[in-house]
Structure 1
């Protein structure tokens, strides 16, 4: 039995200032302090660079994993603003790096589409780092600031004009060392990082992501995919017998929501479907995945009946029937994504379910009508799946 505490007054109420709350309860912000949480730090900084790419201001992101387990990320985007922020009276750079819910992702001003909902990414990484240095190349000048466990060690420094020999003329460079007080001796896993960054390159066709490991230079990688998520599907199916020569692909905007889908069937028995929202891998699914599954089932059944490949009165494929042997990527881009949890594992926007379902039915039915041989093979695959379940 616990001992009862007699008093409970205003003096018992703690108010945590600044980023102290992050250090006291890091799991609330990054999910955990194990290997998964550690990798989330790297993803947050890279996601900020990807946001610049989605906004059309960046086409190159470089990631370096140093031998001491520190990380450097730099992009050739616009660079974080360094002018004085009206509300805080401090440079915008310092405000973003040291204040929760501060950034250009609210209100749709600097970013129409971004992966950052909570506005906590950079400041949380800063709070959970032994050391961080941010360099900004913007409007021809170089500024930087350094931090220790979330606190600035000095004011933002104006280092003067960018040297002509500097190959990086604009953009942001962030170097951070995860805090051993928080993460112990957990280290970044290079293969895990490469898997994530390969995904990002697939989701942003035309974006270069250069990955360098000081500990394993033989494993350095550069990712660039002009084919985008169609290339992603081909990559996932590369050792499988496919039913379509090329993946089905669609991209369309409904209202302000961009829906992009690629899919291809193979001769296997398992489904591989990945769903992304604003380049965030929503590992727990959400409304976009629900819309995809509903739209896929509708489109396959509609086509099978219209083309008289099945008896319209007796045959109706289930969701399981139409997803066996399916490889698919769903990528949606939204101005106001509603993610569940700080780690953004599930998308909650109800309206995206309708958009994905409607657009997929429209485009996939047309595709099947235009590719009758592939359509017949897909329906036969669904029949086989249905019979195996009966």
Structure 2
């Protein structure tokens, strides 16, 4: 019997429940996308805003620029590798560990990283990378991540609400051994997270 070898993207697409559970996968995906920044060891964010539209698009905006923009020795941009290859990790880890998961189960994903001296933008369609674009830097520095979860892969969830997302984030953070100090503010169709100095 020949064993079928699957890419990370295909493995996630075929069995999303192994990564996101059996219910409320869309909400879990958004939580994973938020925590990818919040729990990253090398991330210097102070404010993170997550919003969603009635059409299902999710948009995250923060003031961190720790995602790598250089090329991997194999020749591909490191950011592209993070969005298309699955990396093992748990607890507090470098930013970008869950990008592949988000990308794999989304109809499309767009990344924009604004460094003080460089802007990098790349779009992914059904998980496949499109040509990246570089441009002169523009303010404010930070990272934008937009994606549209694919209901054909995730199923139909209850609508996202600030209250449900806040509850899920608080539960996940409480389970961390050394959670960052974070305050939350509900906004229309969204949530704003602010990192505070520990007491």
User: One fold, TM greater than 0.5?
Assistant: yes
Q: What do residues 267-291 of structure 1 show as CA deviations (whole Å, max 9, x unaligned)?
A: xxxxxxxxxxxxxxxxxxxxxxxxx
State the shift of 1:71 in Å. 0.9
From the superposition, tell whether residues 71 and 210 of structure 1 become closer, same or farther in structure 2 (CA, over 3 Å): farther
Q: What do residues 185-206 of structure 1 show as CA deviations (whole Å, max 9, x unaligned)?
A: 324431210223456788433x
Query: Corresponding residue for 2:35?
Result: 47
> Counting helix residues as a fraction of each chain, which structure ranks higher?
1
**Structure 1 contact 134–145 (Cα < 8 Å) conserved:** yes
Q: 2:18 & 2:116 partners in 1: Cα distance?
A: 37
Query: Corresponding residue for 1:62?
Result: 49
SS at match of 2:35: helix
* Structure 2: gaps of 5 or more residues: none
Q: 1:114 & 1:134 partners in 2: Cα distance?
A: 22
Query: What's the TM-score once normalised by structure 1's chain length?
Result: 0.44
SS at match of 1:136: strand
**Structure 2 contact 44–66 (Cα < 8 Å) conserved:** no
Q: 1:124 & 1:94 partners in 2: Cα distance?
A: 13
**Structure 1 contact 201–209 (Cα < 8 Å) conserved:** no
Query: Corresponding residue for 1:179?
Result: 150
**Structure 2 contact 111–146 (Cα < 8 Å) conserved:** yes
SS at match of 2:71: coil
Query: Corresponding residue for 2:120?
Result: 143
Q: Which has the higher contact order (CA 8 A, sep 6+)?
A: 2
Map 1:71-86 → 2, pairs under 5 A = 71-86=58-73
Q: 1:131 & 1:204 partners in 2: Cα distance?
A: 30
1:98 aligns with 2:68: no
Query: Corresponding residue for 1:114?
Result: 92
Report the count of equivalent residues. Answer: 194
Q: 1:224 & 1:79 partners in 2: Cα distance?
A: 17
Q: Larger radius of gyration, structure 1 or 2?
A: 1
Q: What do residues 6-42 of structure 1 show as CA deviations (whole Å, max 9, x unaligned)?
A: xx4xxx421113411111111222223x31x222211
**Structure 1 contact 136–172 (Cα < 8 Å) conserved:** yes
From the superposition, tell whether residues 61 and 19 of structure 1 become closer, same or farther in structure 2 (CA, over 3 Å): same
Query: What's the TM-score once normalised by structure 2's chain length?
Result: 0.81
Query: Corresponding residue for 2:16?
Result: 26
> Counting strand residues as a fraction of each chain, which structure ranks higher?
2
Map 1:121-160 → 2, pairs under 5 A = 121-152=98-129, 154-160=130-136
**Structure 2 contact 16–154 (Cα < 8 Å) conserved:** no
Q: 2:72 & 2:4 partners in 1: Cα distance?
A: 28
State the shift of 1:156 in Å. 1.5
RMSD (Å), alpha carbons: 3.2
* Structure 1: gaps of 5 or more residues: 1-7, 107-112, 215-219, 229-250, 252-390
